[in-house]
A and B are shown apart, each in its own frame.
Chain A
Amino acid sequence: MNSPWVTASALSTLLFSSVAASAVLPKVQTDNQWFSNAQQTVTNKTKQVNKSKAKNVILFVGDGMGVSTLTAARILDGQMKGNSGEEGYLSFEMFPYSAQVKTYNVDAQTPDSAGTMTAMMSGVKTDIGVLGVSEKAERGNCNSVAGNELVTALELAEIKGLATGVVSTARITHATPAAAYAKSADRNWEDVSDMPEEAVTQGCEDIASQLINFEKNLEARFPGVDVDGIEVAMGGGRRHFLPKDEAANSADAASSVEGDRTDGRNLVTEWQTQYPEGQYVMDQAGFDALDASSTSKVFGLFNESHMQYEADRANDIAGEPSLTQITTKAIDVLDNNDKGFMLVVESGRVDHGHHAGSAFNALTDTVEFAKAIQAAVDNTDPEETLILVTADHSHVFTIAGYPKRGNPILGKVVAVGETEPTLASDDMPYTTLGYTNGRGYRNLGDETNADATYNDDPVVGRQDLSQVDTQSSGYHQEALIPTSSETHAGEDVALHASGPGAHLSQGVIEQSVIFHIINKSLGLMANN
């Protein structure tokens, strides 16, 4: 039945219910701060105006930044500011829209970065370990790539005439950033020396070379298309661009021979030849000297391998910029293009902090990531820039026990109303944060580099933490299952969105939907 009478009746009932509820709610409830804040949140939602077309898109990916990482980082961030922590928000958690993202790869329940980032960049879920190619390609088989290459949002943006950028705190050839620009049967083919001879013979190109040849390769794949190449590429991974020759070492070299390339090519000089107007930088001083307003292209390689953890950044040989600084600079360069830009920003070392079993490094890098996102918010127009924040996958990282409100998130569980740590049934205290697997317990004092854990044997199972400062930077949480490296996890991750097209980020979605949100907002394809 759908008569006007029924509709009027329903409206009448709704109005009556609303008035009645207002009248019956006690003052202790309506005056409560939780109540009024929540009410205001809903009121604000009703006033949201959705725009669909964006001029710019920034995709932020926290590698390995699962939901428990967000919660713990949010609390740590608040506690570092002197608050209880639980009530706060990371910068992007204030965004108006969010979705829950399914991360599995086509062939894997628990995914890796290559397959997941390929899904985000191309709209096609694929196998674990492959980059920019469909599931029909076989990992490690060069010949299986041809015909299975996918087109990424970054490439479409480039073809559309937008400025493009990829930045990361990991090696810029690492899986997540590489999925934006490369096609590879194996994520590990970062330079020619990483490839089997057969793959080289068959004509596959290593990932570093594909970054340098991005413009040429894209034009070859789309005859008649004239693009100007990636405007901003910054991160770690210098080894993959330099020849295996001590003479090519930079001032920042840690290894006796910095470069890994066995084909004699120096991709840094090749890039400089290709883009004589571009600026190559490899340390903090060079970065600081960049004049974004007059720079059309930037290539920054700040470390041989991955860049430092944020908490350990001061220990770099020649100095590295923070992710916030890199993001700000990238936007300043890219927004010189009046048509708009697309930027991919990865916080790559959240993942590594977790792999090393260090909540401290994973969380402090997440906090820095949130700062970088706030910098993007502050340096762009919310009316024209879609900002998406997500993760590629999560980790086996848990927040457990019944700690009281405001209990230090890196600390031992202290129950509500108590001042001493709660004891488990083995009469020993335990931490709120923990890992299901990994190398387990470490007490490395003031060490700020999570990877120091790799210098000692795994120590799993329960430890007596009575006299241990679990809030120190060098503390590594206990783990149950002994593995040499803590592993990814398979649960969903979050997607947060702000700006034109943000309202498309709703519900539970496949990771491949993210490409279509970008596409829809930027109008990358003609039939969009």
Chain B
Amino acid sequence: MKNLMTLAFTLGSALLASSAQAQSCANDKLYLSANYEISQRVADSHTRHDSHTHEHAHDKGQSFNKQQLVLHRYNNQVVHMYPDSHYGDWWTKTANNRLMLNRFFPDNQRVIEYQADELSSKISWQSKYQLLNSDFINNMVVVKETGTGCEQSQQRALTQGDYSYQLTWLPKWSLVTSYQVFRGDEKVAQWQLVNYQVNKKHIADYIAKLSDYRATDYADIGDNENDPFLAKMINQGFVEHKATGFYNSQGDNISKQHSH
């Protein structure tokens, strides 16, 4: 299958596309799916809604929340699916370069639509597309670089106050392979790429399926008290899980911080 490229990723070694596929990375990165494992120290995770669903791991006596993140890219659309939390965010960059968010709930086959202008213009497309803002990445110092072209891999680092950040990523794919946040010597969060693949049709089918879910404009939720799904939202609150993008140990969205 021409578009299928699945590469296992091993921590500590560079993950590179084959040379035969390397030439097409500029186009292929537009139709990419990537699986991440996110670990956040419990005290820093700020995942109050669904922490009970996460696997708890222990590292040096610290408790970590773990959850999966599946990233899908399809041209001007990006999907962040959180299987453990049973919801996902489907972002679209509009013709006037604003972001439109559809939050979907596969278990209910429902979508809540935020109109493009309902989201702060401070939310950057990059923070959705590549999980980190380019400004933030560019502020980091390149400590090691291997490979060339599509096979180029960079290790970058940044220290800000008590916090330090270590990033490994593939610039030509705009793809994070590893990202770690430390407070002093203590690791408080990690995003780890597990694998990724390029499959345009698969992602197109996936997005088509999402578009078949029953959609409600968020502005209309208050007028739908009789709809059990929406009534629950009105009375008990929305699933406001804050795991999109990367967070520092203070629970602040780094993507937001660096998107101004």
Contact = CB atoms under 8 A, between A and B. Distances in A.
Contact of B222 (A304, A305, A482, A486): A486
A454 B218 contact: yes
Interface stretch (A66-74, A83-91, A249-257): A249-257
Contacts of A215: none
B223 A113 contact: yes
A352 to B, nearest CB: 5
Contact of A484 (B96, B114, B238, B242): B238
Given A244-B211, A315-B117, A485-B221, A458 B226 contact: no
Contacts of B235: 483-484
Interface string A113-150: 10000000000000011000000000100000000000
A485 B235 CA distance: 8
Interface in A411-469: 444, 447, 449, 451-452, 454-458
A470 interface: no
The residue among A244, A255, A486 with the most chain B CB atoms within 10 A of its own CB is A255
A484 B224 contact: no
Contacts of B218: 451, 454, 485
The 4 closest A-B pairs by CB, nearest first: A485-B222, A451-B118, A355-B222, A457-B240
Interface in B75-112: 76-77, 92, 94-96, 98, 100-101
Query: Which one of A257, A305, A312 has the highest number of Cβ atoms from chain B below 10 Å of its Cβ?
Result: A305
B192 to A, nearest CB: 27
A356 interface: yes
Contacts of A454: 114, 118, 218, 238
A456 B240 contact: yes
Contacts of A488: 222
B8 interface: no
A175 B226 CA distance: 14
A482 B115 contact: no
A139 B114 CA distance: 26
B120 A447 contact: yes
A449 B117 CA distance: 7
B142 interface: no
Tell me the dominant secondary structure on chain A's binding face: loop
A69 to B, nearest CB: 15
A317 B98 CA distance: 10
Interface of A: 112-113, 128-129, 139, 174-175, 187-188, 193-194, 244, 253-257, 260, 304-306, 308, 312, 315-317, 351-352, 355-356, 444, 447, 449, 451-452, 454-458, 482-488
B113 A256 contact: no
B230 to A, nearest CB: 9
Nearest to A260: B215
B211 to A, nearest CB: 6
Contact of B237 (A304, A305, A447, A482): A482
Contact of B120 (A305, A316, A455): A455
B95 A356 contact: no
B115 A254 contact: yes
Contacts of A244: 211
Interface string B146-190: 000000000000000000000000000000000000000000000
Contacts of A139: 226
Contacts of B233: 484-485
Contacts of A257: 211
Contact of A254 (B94, B219, B224): B94
A112 B117 contact: no
B4 to A, nearest CB: 24
A150 to B, nearest CB: 20
B223 to A, nearest CB: 6
Chain B contact surface mostly = mixed
Contacts of B222: 351-352, 355, 485-488
B59 interface: no
A244 B227 CA distance: 24
A316 B117 CA distance: 8
A487 B221 CA distance: 10
Interface of B: 76-77, 92, 94-96, 98, 100-101, 113-120, 123, 211, 214-215, 217-227, 233-238, 240, 242
Nearest to B112: A454
Contacts of B223: 112-113, 175, 187, 351, 355
A357 to B, nearest CB: 10
A43 to B, nearest CB: 44
Given A356-B219, A457-B240, A256 B76 contact: yes
B237 A458 contact: yes
A103 to B, nearest CB: 14
B50 to A, nearest CB: 13
Given A139-B226, A194-B214, A483-B235, A449 B118 contact: yes
> In the complex, which of the residues B76, B115, B215, B225 has the most CB atoms of chain A within 10 Å of its own CB atom?
B115
Contacts of A458: 237, 240
B234 A484 contact: yes
Given A306-B217, A355-B222, A255 B118 contact: no
A128 B94 CA distance: 36
A278 to B, nearest CB: 27
A483 B219 contact: no
Most buried by A among B100, B117, B215: B117
Nearest to A256: B92
Given A128-B226, A253-B94, A255-B100, 8 more contacts: A129-B226, A254-B116, A355-B219, A451-B115, A455-B114, A458-B240, A484-B233, A484-B235
Given A112-B223, A356-B219, A483 B234 contact: yes
B118 A455 contact: yes
B117 A308 contact: yes
Given A451-B114, A484-B233, A317 B240 contact: no
Given A254-B115, A305-B115, A444 B120 contact: yes
Nearest to B76: A256
Contacts of A306: 115, 217, 219
A315 to B, nearest CB: 5
A439 B77 CA distance: 28
B53 to A, nearest CB: 18
B91 to A, nearest CB: 11
Contacts of B226: 128-129, 139
B100 A254 contact: yes
B211 A317 contact: no
Contact of A485 (B76, B92, B95, B234): B234
Contacts of A113: 223
A451 B119 CA distance: 8
A112 B221 CA distance: 12
6 contacts: A254-B100, A312-B117, A315-B98, A315-B117, A316-B117, A452-B120
Contacts of A487: 222, 225, 234
B112 to A, nearest CB: 8
